[in-house]
Amino acid sequence: MHILITGATRGIGAGLASAYRAQGHEVTGTGRSSGAEVTLDVTQPQDHRAMSAQLAGRPIDLLVCNAGVYLDKGNDLETGYAADLWAQSFAANVTGVFLTVQTLLPNLRAASAPRIAIISSQMASHTRAPGGSYIYRASKAAALNLGRNLATDLAGEVAVGIYHPGWVQTDMGGDAADITVDEAVAGLMQRFAALSHDTTGCFETWDGRAHAY
């Protein structure tokens, strides 16, 4: 199986890439650094064009849209959430996901049973609104909405799932987070394996629970 993972140079993305390689799968990891197989800043259209040329003719069985940013952590309502943080966050967390899917559609359609996994967050849920982190929450809600609509438009062609990876001990999640990268990775891999045309459009947690929208 050929798996492409965005944001694969650290955190959950690096964990997924390592685990899939250990199982013998072919993994193409993207990242903004030179350590990735494909150099990709998901916000930059020229990088997507270069990736398209580099991967031309290669089927992709599983696309994991993992790259993302959390730029407004700790901002306060009265003085924070600057306009440029909104623009940068949506460029990475929403537009970046869409451009990645759009760019790699020919590769996905060349596979026999292609799947797309979008890493969103429980912070995307409109039923869970404890306040704060307005930009991150809004961008992850948009990524959830994007995934749900992609599932509709790609029905019968490509299965699409949206996932909350858990509160994970990464640079983004912090040391106080609930679960390790290895725990998140093991759970997510099970979710991706179970994704099918019957479950397309699902919003699930890393440990297999259906998440409220």
pLDDT per residue rounded down to tens, the chain (213 residues): 999 999 999 889 999 999 999 999 999 999 998 779 999 999 999 999 999 999 999 999 999 999 999 999 999 999 999 999 999 999 999 999 999 999 999 999 999 999 999 999 877 777 777 888 899 999 999 999 999 999 999 999 999 999 998 766 666 555 665 778 889 899 999 999 999 999 999 999 888 887 777
Phi-psi region of 170 (alpha: psi -120 to 50; beta: other; left: phi over 0): beta
Q: What is the DSSP string of the chain?
A: -EEEESSTTSHHHHHHHHHHHHTT-EEEEEESSTTSSEE--TT-HHHHHHHHHHTTT---SEEEE-------TT--TTT---HHHHHHHHIIIIIHHHHHHHHHHHHHHTSSS-EEEEE--GGG-TT---S--HHHHHHHHHHHHHHHHHHHHTTTT-EEEEEE--SBSSTTT-TT-SB-HHHHHHHHHHHHHH--TTTTTEEEETTSPBPP-
Give the residue carrying structure tokens 């996905």: 108
| CATH architecture type of domain 2-205 | 3-Layer(aba) Sandwich (3.40)
Contact 184, 18 (CB under 8 A): no
pLDDT recorded at residue 209? 83
User: Would you state the structure tokens that stand for residue 195, as one six-digit string?
Assistant: 């994704």
Please state the pTM of the whole predicted model.
0.93
C-alpha–C-alpha distance, residues 152 and 154, integer Å: 6
pLDDT recorded at residue 172? 59
| Domain residue spans of the chain | 2-205
User: Would you state the structure tokens that stand for residue 50, as one six-digit string?
Assistant: 């270069």
Report how far Cα 83 is from the mean position of its chain's Cα atoms: 24
What lies within 8 Å, CB to CB, of 99 at 6+ separation is 42, 45, 48
**Which of 52, 29, 142, 30 lies closest to 102 in space, CA to CA?**
52
C-alpha–C-alpha distance, residues 154 and 157, integer Å: 5
